[in-house]
Amino acid sequence: MNGTDTAETGQGGAGRRETGAGTRRARVRRAIRAASRPGPWQRGPLLASLALLLGLLMLLHAKIPNRGLGNLGSLVESFLPWFGLFVPLLLAGALWRRSAAAVVALLLPVVVWLNLFGGLLGDKSHPGGDLTLAEQNVNADNPDPAGTARDLAASGAQALALVELTPHATPLYEKGLAKAYPYHTVQGTVGLWSKLPLSDTRPIDIMDYGPLAATKPADKKLAANRALRTTVATDHGPLTVYVAHLGSVRVNPRAGFWTASRNIGVRALGKAVAADPSERVVLLGDLNGTTDDRALAGLTARMHSAQDAAGDGFGFSWPAGFPVVRTDQILVRGVRPEKAWVLPATRSDHLPVAAAISW
């Protein structure tokens, strides 16, 4: 009996020693894992890198080249406000990874985005205004021109610019707007309806700009004309108004962001506005580009956006169902925007835009 007890006791001691050694080994392994586990400043290096790249992209967007890259710079600038959506996505990833480095890195894109667009988040409008203007690309395939005319007449604007008119739809707009707007001019595919007298109206060639422009017959030019200049007689003096529909832009695999036709129009229209001696000038139209796009500098360097100066928010106008960009612009020179806003949808694929201005 004593021998057996002694043997059992010896085995129990060995078991305890093994258990103790196993516990020590487990503790060592846990200590090694804890020491090798990255801290909050070492976690999420990919997220931190992406956050820094996002901030640099927005900060240095003007340095992104257009040539050789399918106008990549203009494409990025057209949708630049939407890059801010990556911030909450990266923040969610940083919090999930508990990465302090990624959270801190996100300060760069946040600060850059707020510097670029923070001023658009508030309402900068003021009461009053001497004249209200509105513009819409009414869409060549609009299924209800008469209804669109009624909706736009109800806006109360003293001057209304329409672009993308067609020979079929123009008489319907003329009929629907005749009562509210006794004065109007149509030059090809663009027109201006006004409650005040118009004078000195002429087309502006923005599609056949260059040495070959003079070789095209005048009647063919006018039929497809996409810009005009006229003078509105107001109680405060003459106001020069340009209405324009710049050439379309396209995104395709071969050409990238194709803007050749639009850019030709920018140069022609910019030259006309620069040479215009008028003290007060307004440009209404679908410019097929945003004011952030460097390609529109020929216009935005000489005029400023009513939406940027006196709007509430970004004022996106296209596509009407879910607007993501503002291609419909009201640019001014020599007058003060008091308010700028987007009007309710009509049957067009663009939303109408409006602005109130003062002298």
Work out the pLDDT band at 215, boundaries 50, 70, 90.
low
Local confidence band at 222 (pLDDT 50, 70, 90 cut-offs): confident
What is the secondary structure of 121-184 as a DSSP string? SSB---S--SEEEEEEE--TT-S-HHHHHHHHHTT--SEEEEES--TTTHHHHHHHHTTT-SEE
| Confidence check: pLDDT of 102 > 80 | yes
The span from the CA of 158 to the CA of 214, in Å, is: 35
Residues 6+ apart with CB under 8 A from 231: 198, 199, 200, 201, 238, 239, 240, 241, 278
pLDDT digits 0-9 by tens, 33-63: 544 456 677 788 999 999 999 999 999 999 9
Q: What is the pLDDT of residue 178?
A: 98
| CA distances, 74 to each of 17, 251, 263, 271, 324 (Å) | 73, 11, 11, 21, 15
The answer to whether the beta carbons of residues 131 and 338 sit under 8 Å apart is no
Query: Within 10 A of 26 (CB to CB), how many other CB atoms are there?
Result: 10
Say how many residues make up the chain: 359
Reported as type and span, the H/E element at residue 337 is: strand 336-342
Residue 67 pLDDT: 83
Q: Please provide the DSSP assignment of 254-270 as one string.
A: TTEEE-HHHHHHHHHHH
Give phi and psi for 294, each to the nearest 5: -60, -25
d(CA 286, CA 243): 9
pTM: 0.86
Residue 356 has pLDDT above 50, yes or no: yes
- Give me the pLDDT at residue 23, please: 75
206 CB-contact burial (10 Å; exposed 0-12 / middle 13-18 / buried 19+): buried
CA contacts within 13 A on the Cβ side of 5: 2
Among 141-150, 201-210, 324-333, the least confident range: 201-210
Question: Does 9 score more than 60 pLDDT?
Answer: no
Query: pLDDT tens digit string along 255-296?
Result: 789 999 999 999 999 999 999 999 999 999 999 999 999 999
- Could you give the angle at which helices 45-59 and 86-97 cross, rounded to 10 degrees? 160
pLDDT in tens, 224-257: 899 999 999 999 999 999 999 999 999 887 778 9
Neighbours of 112 (CB within 10 A): 20
Residues in a beta bridge with 227:
244
Give helix 145-153 / helix 170-177 axis angle, nearest 10°: 30
Tokens of 43: 């976690």
List pLDDT tens digits, range 293-310. Answer: 999 999 999 999 999 999
Distances (CA, A) of 327 to 79, 286, 289: 11, 6, 5
Which DSSP state fits 93? H
Residue 166 CB-density burial (10 A; 0-12 exposed, 13-18 middle, 19+ buried): middle
Residue 332, pLDDT score:
98
How does strand 237-245 pair with strand 281-286? parallel
Q: What is the mean pLDDT of residues 80-105?
A: 96
> Which pLDDT tens digit goes with each residue over 155-213?
999 999 999 999 999 999 999 999 999 999 999 999 999 999 999 999 999 987 555 55
